């Protein structure tokens, strides 16, 4: 039994029960709720190690905006010195949402339908990552001017959290998939990806997708 507190958020009751059943046998504390509005209250004491968060709430929603909204609230607007790790649940094959969640601070993602062993492994790794972060000395609230360092400038695809290679692989696969769906038509693919044709060509060249 792994000593970690896991919070599951999913408005699909069947999915929520299934996740709870799988995880309660692996982790010491597992709390499952269907309403994301409860998140701020449930994480405020800094005693949640990992939030397993669905990307969509409400019937018919598939754009992932709800998940990204709550990811931001947990990671950047919770007011916690050490917010919980967040593992996102995405629909099968939705690489684009997975990339967005990692870029915006997510620690990992799992796709539906999930593999139980993989799910437990990813949550275990996220809990350990958060435990290490929680044990680090807290930075002073008002650092001296000489102690302040400029924020690093990250190149496209970098997150500053060790996910660079993972993100690149995901983005490459997503672009390749869209190109296949569009029959290799760069104009159609760039529109579907929401980027310019020039940017798409540049990414294809970078990822070795040009014959």
For residues 155 and 94, the model is more confident at 94
At residue 38, the pLDDT reads 92
pTM over 0.95: no
Residue 167: is its pLDDT beyond 60?
Answer: no
Residue 6: is its pLDDT beyond 90?
Answer: yes
Q: What is the pLDDT of residues 80-121, one digit of tens each?
A: 888 999 999 887 566 777 777 888 888 998 888 899 999 999
How is 79-108 classified by DSSP, letter by letter? --SSPPEEEEEE-TT-HHHHHHHHHTT--E
Structural domains of the chain, ranges and CATH numbers in brackets: 2-135 (3.40.50.2300), 164-206 (1.10.10.60)
> Which secondary structure element, helix H or strand E, spans residue 41, and what is its range?
helix 39-43
For residues 206 and 3, the model is more confident at 3
Cβ–Cβ contacts within 10 Å for residue 98, how many?
A: 26
Residue 29: is its pLDDT beyond 80?
Answer: yes
The answer to whether residues 90 and 112 touch, using CB atoms and an 8 Å cutoff, is yes
At residue 162, the pLDDT reads 46
Q: What is the band of 157 on the pLDDT scale with cuts at 50, 70, 90?
A: very low
Distance CA 119, CA 21 (A): 12
At residue 102, the pLDDT reads 82
The mean of the pLDDT values for the chain is 79
Rg (CA), the chain: 19
For residues 49 and 199, the model is more confident at 49
Average pLDDT over residues 188-196: 77
């Amino acid at each position: 039994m792994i000593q970690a507190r896991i919070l599951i958020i999913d408005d699909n009751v069947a999915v929520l029960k299934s996740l709870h059943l799988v995880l309660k046998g692996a982790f010491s504390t597992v709390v499952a709720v269907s309403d994301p509005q409860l998140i701020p209250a449930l994480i405020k004491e800094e005693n949640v190690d990992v939030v397993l968060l669905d990307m969509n709430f409400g019937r018919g929603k598939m754009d992932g905006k709800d998940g990204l909204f709550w990811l931001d609230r947990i990671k950047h607007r919770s007011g916690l010195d050490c917010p919980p790790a967040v593992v996102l649940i995405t629909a099968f094959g939705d690489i684009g949402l997975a990339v967005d969640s990692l870029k915006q601070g997510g620690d990992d993602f799992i796709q539906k339908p999930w593999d139980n062993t993989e799910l437990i492994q990813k949550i275990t790794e996220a809990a350990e990552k958060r435990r290490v972060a929680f044990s680090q000395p807290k930075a002073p609230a008002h650092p001296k001017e000489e102690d302040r360092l400029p924020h690093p400038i990250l190149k496209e695809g970098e997150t500053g959290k060790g996910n660079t290679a993972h993100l690149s692989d995901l983005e490459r696969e997503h672009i390749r998939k869209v190109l296949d769906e569009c029959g290799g038509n760069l104009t159609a693919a760039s529109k579907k990806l929401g980027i310019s044709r020039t940017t798409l060509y540049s990414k294809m060249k970078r990822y070795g997708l040009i014959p």
